[in-house]
């Protein structure tokens, strides 16, 4: 199989793929037109953050599989891929722990104002009086929006912190999700509006779809308690920036955000966002999945996906293409995959 890898992948993973008889070309710098120009002859394309749009897919002549080395597939035009019979597979769940850990980094930062405290110390200011003001996380009500692998990892950690976790009840939750939720003593509510009313903190763990775009809206924020916190480590497009800024200015809401509308695609660049600059926001640079552990776990699963493909099977396929599929996913993975379609 001829494979083009248009993002970084560990050398050990490339060796493992080539040991299976495939040839890999590592071109992490490819973007846009250059990516399209490199696609003729390629059968499998592996990407992480790199966008694979319709024109790029149209430039391919032998492409059969796009592997997204992460969970979200919003950077890939899956519709264009489906039209050409090209499978799109993601790697669900493997970076869930890393994202859950960053979720807690943001929550704990908001509670203890760690970023400001560090900045003051670096500027030679001692202010124990200011930084002694914190409510603590224990006993607080956390609403987890999305109970896939990441949401559940957040729920488990929140339970360990003594928080009360709430989530939205859904008739189609499978037994494994319900069992995990029960072990974290998750309380189910009717809908997102009720979740917002009940909780001190809302944390979002949903893929970007037409249903979730703009989910953190003026209407939803109006339901939140004064001083509530919004944590978003999923996709920036969930947020109505103006509405969140208004809620922070007028009702003391605060936010921990790892993702932003219009964030740069590459690793470095300039970024001008009124939301990211707002004093009530502690922001990070879309690094939720970027621990060494998570990147290795994702790369291992990419190797497994390509091995299965070489054997005629698809793992974690998110679009409807006429390929044989071996479905070895767990229920949680299947749930994540369904919701990312």
Give the x/- contact pattern for ligand 3PG in 49-68, rule: CB under 6 A: x-------------------
Annotated active-site residue 205? The verdict is no
Residue 130 Cβ, how far from ligand 3PG at the closest point, in Å?
Answer: 34
Asked whether position 48 contacts ligand 3PG by CB under 6 A, the answer is yes
Contact between 144 and 163 under an 8 Å Cβ cutoff? The reply is no
- Closest residue to bound ligand 3PG by CB: 70
Angle at the Cα of 286 (from 285 to 288), degrees rounded to 5?
120
Among 95, 103, 212, 332, binds ligand 3PG (CB under 6 A): 95
Cα dist. 152→70, 111, 180, 181 in Å? 17, 22, 7, 7
Among 289, 302, 314, 317, binds ligand 3PG (CB under 6 A): 289
| Selected range binding ligand 3PG among 19-27, 151-159, 285-293, 313-321, rule: CB under 6 A | 285-293
**Which residues on adjacent β-strands are paired with residue 254?**
229
Annotated active-site residue 140? The verdict is no
133: Cα within 13 Å, side-chain hemisphere: 4
Asked whether position 72 contacts ligand 3PG by CB under 6 A, the answer is yes
Residue 70 Cβ, how far from ligand 3PG at the closest point, in Å?
Answer: 3
Contact between 248 and 255 under an 8 Å Cβ cutoff? The reply is yes
Distance CA 204, CA 192 (A): 11
CB neighbours of residue 249 within 10 Å = 12
| Selected range binding ligand 3PG among 20-28, 102-110, 129-137, 288-296, rule: CB under 6 A | 288-296
The label of the residue with tokens 């990419």 reads 302
Distance CA 206, CA 321 (A): 24
Among 176, 290, 291, 296, binds ligand 3PG (CB under 6 A): 290
Task: Fill in the DSSP letter of residue 260.
Answer: -
Q: Which of 67, 20, 27, 19 is nearest to 43 (CA)?
A: 67
If the CB atoms of residues 73 and 164 are measured against ligand 3PG, the closer one turns out to be: 73
Contact between 211 and 217 under an 8 Å Cβ cutoff? The reply is no
Asked whether position 78 contacts ligand 3PG by CB under 6 A, the answer is no
Contacts with ligand 3PG: how many residues (CB under 6 A)?
10
Q: Which residues contact 249 (CB under 8 A, 6 or more apart)?
A: none
Residue 48 Cβ, how far from ligand 3PG at the closest point, in Å?
Answer: 4
Among 6, 13, 14, 70, binds ligand 3PG (CB under 6 A): 70
Annotated active-site residue 182? The verdict is no
Asked whether position 146 contacts ligand 3PG by CB under 6 A, the answer is no
Asked whether position 232 contacts ligand 3PG by CB under 6 A, the answer is no
Residues forming the site for ligand 3PG (CB under 6 A): 48-49, 70-72, 95, 286, 288-290
Which residues are known catalytic residues?
235, 263, 286
């Amino acid at each position: 199989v001829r494979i083009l890898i248009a993002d970084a992948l560990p050398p050990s993973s490339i060796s493992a793929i080539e040991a299976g008889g495939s040839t890999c070309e590592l071109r992490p710098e490819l973007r846009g037109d250059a990516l399209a120009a490199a696609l003729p002859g390629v059968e499998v394309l592996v990407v992480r953050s790199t966008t694979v749009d319709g024109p790029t897919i149209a430039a391919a002549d032998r492409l059969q599989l796009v592997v997204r080395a992460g969970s979200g597939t919003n950077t890939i035009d899956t519709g264009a891929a489906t039209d050409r019979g090209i499978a799109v597979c993601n790697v669900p769940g493997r970076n869930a722990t890393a994202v859950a850990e960053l979720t807690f980094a943001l929550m704990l930062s908001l509670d203890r104002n760690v970023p400001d405290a560090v900045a003051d110390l670096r500027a030679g200011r001692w202010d124990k009086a200011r930084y002694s003001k914190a409510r603590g996380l224990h006993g607080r009500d956390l609403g987890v929006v999305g109970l896939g692998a990441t949401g559940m990892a957040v729920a488990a950690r929140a339970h360990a912190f003594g928080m009360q976790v709430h989530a939205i009840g859904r008739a189609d939750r499978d037994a494994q999700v319900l069992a995990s939720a029960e072990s974290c003593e998750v309380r189910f509510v009717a809908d997102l509006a009720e979740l917002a009313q009940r909780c001190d903190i809302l944390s979002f763990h949903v893929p970007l779809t037409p249903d979730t775009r703009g989910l953190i809206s003026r209407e939803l924020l109006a339901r939140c308690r004064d001083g509530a916190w919004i944590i978003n480590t999923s996709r920036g497009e969930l947020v109505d920036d103006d509405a969140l800024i208004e809620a922070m200015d007028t009702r003391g809401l605060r936010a921990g955000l790892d993702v932003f509308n219009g964030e740069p695609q590459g690793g470095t660049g300039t970024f001008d966002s009124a939301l990211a600059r707002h004093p009530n926001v502690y922001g990070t640079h879309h690094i939720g999945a970027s621990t060494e552990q998570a990147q290795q776990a994702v790369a291992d699963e990419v190797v497994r996906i390509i091995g299965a493909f070489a054997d005629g099977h698809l793992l974690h396929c998110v679009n409807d293409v006429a390929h044989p599929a071996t479905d070895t996913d767990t229920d949680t993975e299947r749930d994540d995959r369904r919701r990312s379609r």
